[in-house]
């Protein structure tokens, strides 16, 4: 799964399911057999992909409550150490700490 946020993932799923619904309603009252084989296959493939993406998004969402305490502990550890560079990142330890603070604040605001 890409690094999309859960909201972005769910938006994509909604869009894809909407396309399947539009395809199925194409015949307006006609039986589904009215659809061509390729349309049915595309709907099946899309719904299979949606199912996988939705299961992964749910797993990520279920992990979020466990991540907040870890992030708070990470912030506490960063605040105990003197400022240091982090190879491979454009941020130093203070920048990462500030990012942690913003994410923690957003998570707590969303939970209340």
Query: Taking residues 89-98, what's their average pLDDT?
Result: 88
Residue whose C-alpha is closest to residue 26's, from 40, 15, 14, 13: 40
pTM > 0.75: no
Per-domain boundaries in the chain = 6-111
Q: What is the mean pLDDT of residues 17-36?
A: 62
Q: What is the pLDDT of residues 43-93, one digit of tens each?
A: 778 778 888 887 888 787 787 788 889 889 999 998 888 888 888 888 889
Q: Does the pLDDT of residue 28 top 60, yes or no?
A: no
Strand-pairing partners, residue 85, are: 92
């Amino acid at each position: 799964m890409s690094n999309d946020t859960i909201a972005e993932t769910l938006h994509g799923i909604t869009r894809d399911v909407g396309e399947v619904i539009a395809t199925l309603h194409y015949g307006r009252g006609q039986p589904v057999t009215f659809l061509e084989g390729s349309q049915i296959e595309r709907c099946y493939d899309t719904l299979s992909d949606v199912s996988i993406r939705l299961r992964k998004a749910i797993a990520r969402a279920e992990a979020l409550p466990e991540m907040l305490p870890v992030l708070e502990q990470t912030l506490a550890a960063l605040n105990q150490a003197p400022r240091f560079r982090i190879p491979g990142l454009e941020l130093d330890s203070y920048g990462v700490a500030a990012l942690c603070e913003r994410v923690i604040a957003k998570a707590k605001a969303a939970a209340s």
